[in-house]
Structure 1
Amino acid sequence: MKYIEEKAEDLLTQLKVNKLPINPKVCAEKLNLTVEAAMLEDDISGIFLAENSEYYIIYNKNEGTLRQRFTIAHELGHFILHKDLGVFVDRKSTALYRNSSSATGEVLKEREANAFAAALLMPRILIEKELDAISESEDIIEILADKFKVSKPAMSFRLSNLGYELF
């Protein structure tokens, strides 16, 4: 999914965003998307809606800050990668990935949006810069997760996808 990395990097360059932590809400708003918190069902993290050339990201206001950040970045990924397709409702449950929707390409689109969110919130170049400043004796994942304002599992997964072996 190298093209997704490039799309995220291009967006950050276009928006002149290069300081930590990346704010996905500001990125979306710079692209004229409306971003709103709402009371959503417990199993819904976010919604991307394209309607009459207007674009909306709605995220669950009952979730934690780190989850909200990732959700906004994920929905922004749908905008950048799939905006012509209309509506995406992102549920917490992984059951979505094991049912009939698996054959429709929906799973691929969700993976693409997740990859975009990871690349946006944790850009490779900024990870490399931060890794250079951390000593080997420190808890690298915890330090990076804190700097990038993402969860430790998200940072661990991102580092693994970038080819870092930290264990």
Structure 2
Amino acid sequence: MNTDEIEKYTELENQANQLIETVATENNCDPQDLKWWHISNYLEQKHKIVLVPLNKNEFSTIIADNYGIYGLTLKDSRMAMICYNNECTETRQHFTIMHEIGHFLLHKNNQTYPSLMQENDYTEEDQIFEKEANNMAGMLLANKKAIQSLLNDRKPFNYLCKYFGISNQAMRIRLFNLFYFQTAKQVIEEEKQVNNIFIYSQQTIANYIYKNYQLNIK
């Protein structure tokens, strides 16, 4: 963990929050009331994005697929087509759509971005792009204001998952990331001696959320 990583995450968060505020204004609602489909509908209408549900056989006509695929972003100078695997669970489909929207927002070149089930097929550069798109997906699916409101209301973990329409795993990662960079920044600023910032943050964040919100995310 270093300041560059914190700055990159903060940059992504600011970009996500700007979009969330814009979509909330467009829908005349509070950001904490936004759901994933508000964002996808807005981008379809305003930015020439087309969402296309496909099954595995249909994906094989677009891209060579040996291991399975969650989704795909195809871009050119005029529009973007986001394909998602409609044979996956609904929560996985929601995450895939927001992940591919992350590629559209963050990675401006007209490249094809496949989200593979077999992640070790990614190059080193691909892995960076995928991490960025994953982070953006989490921010758009479960925005900070909405999470904070639900935590303040002492909503249980399963309620959060259902409210945002995402899986337990995605919700755990989102909660961890939400507090991780805050924890890491504090460690750096206070020059604490921490052998493993990731493990330290996991324990600290889980304890913090349980103590303040009685929510167990383990």
Task: Normalising by structure 1, report the TM-score.
Answer: 0.86
Where 1:84 maps in the other structure, the secondary structure is coil
Query: What amino acid does structure 1 have at the position aligned with 2:44?
Result: E
Give the whole-Å Cα distance in 1 for the aligned partners of 2:128 and 2:55.
Answer: 27
Runs of 4+ with >4 A deviation: none
Aligned partner of 2:136 among 94, 116, 119: 116
Aligned partner of 1:158 among 174, 179, 192: 174
Query: What amino acid does structure 2 have at the position aligned with 1:11?
Result: L
Query: What amino acid does structure 2 have at the position aligned with 1:26?
Result: N
Asked whether the 8 Å contact 2:68–2:118 carries over to 1, the reply is yes
- Distance change (3 Å), C-alpha of 1:20 and 1:75: same
Give the whole-Å Cα distance in 2 for the aligned partners of 1:119 and 1:2.
Answer: 11
Asked whether the 8 Å contact 1:48–1:75 carries over to 2, the reply is yes
Aligned-pair Cα RMSD in Å: 1.8
The percentage of counterpart residues that share the same residue type is: 27
Which ranges of structure 2 fall in alignment gaps of 5 or more residues?
1-8, 60-66, 180-204, 211-215
Asked whether the 8 Å contact 1:20–1:147 carries over to 2, the reply is no
Where 1:83 maps in the other structure, the secondary structure is coil
Asked whether the 8 Å contact 2:52–2:82 carries over to 1, the reply is yes
The structure whose residues are more often helix, as a share, is: 2
Give the whole-Å Cα distance in 1 for the aligned partners of 2:102 and 2:130.
Answer: 9
Where 2:70 maps in the other structure, the secondary structure is strand
Corresponding residue for residue 194 of structure 2: none
Where 1:117 maps in the other structure, the secondary structure is helix
Query: What amino acid does structure 2 have at the position aligned with 1:56?
Result: M
Query: What amino acid does structure 2 have at the position aligned with 1:15?
Result: V
* Structure exhibiting the larger radius of gyration computed from Cα positions: 2
Corresponding residue for residue 28 of structure 1: 43
Where 1:134 maps in the other structure, the secondary structure is coil
Where 1:150 maps in the other structure, the secondary structure is coil
Mapping of residues 4-153 of structure 1, within 5 Å: 4-16=12-24, 18=31, 19-23=33-37, 24-30=39-45, 31-40=47-56, 43-97=68-122, 101-102=123-124, 105-134=125-154, 140-153=156-169
Give the whole-Å Cα distance in 2 for the aligned partners of 1:116 and 1:77.
Answer: 5
Query: What amino acid does structure 2 have at the position aligned with 1:120?
Result: L
Asked whether the 8 Å contact 2:77–2:110 carries over to 1, the reply is no
Give the whole-Å Cα distance in 2 for the aligned partners of 1:119 and 1:27.
Answer: 16
Where 2:18 maps in the other structure, the secondary structure is helix
Shift of 1:20: 4.3
Larger RCO (alpha carbons 8 Å, 6+ apart) = 1
Paired residues, what number? 158
The structure whose residues are more often strand, as a share, is: 1
Give the whole-Å Cα distance in 2 for the aligned partners of 1:129 and 1:88.
Answer: 34
Which ranges of structure 1 fall in alignment gaps of 5 or more residues?
none
